[in-house]
């Protein structure tokens, strides 16, 4: 076929040899059919198993993440109604007032008395 070089095909196979062997072992070819040594065959089987476990773990993690988002959403929907939001907001206001209290109004028990100008002030005796 014109435009297709057999040397390019062979070079690609040699360059990606591990990938081709792993794929063919996974398809059911024996290592003897692929002319692969026992050690290399075990290495490729182990790599395939590790990749399978990685895929399973990733898939389960994504499923767990999705379920946890759904559970948090359901929890928030169930427990965030207007009454709870009002309770939370009023609790926040009370905490804010406790942290930074307003100054006491004039004439209240907590206010410090200021001398009136109408009343004569007591002079200190020297």
Flag whether pLDDT at 7 surpasses 90.
Answer: no
pTM (two decimals): 0.46
Q: How far is the C-alpha of 56 from the C-alpha of 37, rounded, in Å?
A: 29
- Report the alpha-carbon angle 8-13-16, nearest 5: 120
Flag whether pLDDT at 19 surpasses 60.
Answer: yes
The mean predicted confidence, pLDDT, of the chain is 76
């Amino acid at each position: 076929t014109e435009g297709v070089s057999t040397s390019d095909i062979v070079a690609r196979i040699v360059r990606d040899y591990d990938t081709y062997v792993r794929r063919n072992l996974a398809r059911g070819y024996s290592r003897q059919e692929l002319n692969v040594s026992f050690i290399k065959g075990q290495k490729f089987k182990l790599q395939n198993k590790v990749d399978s476990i990685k895929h399973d773990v990733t898939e389960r993690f994504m499923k767990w993440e999705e379920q946890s988002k759904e559970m948090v959403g359901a929890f928030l929907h169930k427990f965030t109604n207007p009454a709870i939001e009002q309770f939370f907001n009023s609790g926040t206001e009370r905490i804010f007032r406790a942290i930074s209290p307003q100054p006491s109004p004039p004439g209240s028990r907590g206010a410090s008395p200021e001398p009136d100008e109408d009343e004569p002030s007591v002079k200190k005796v020297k």
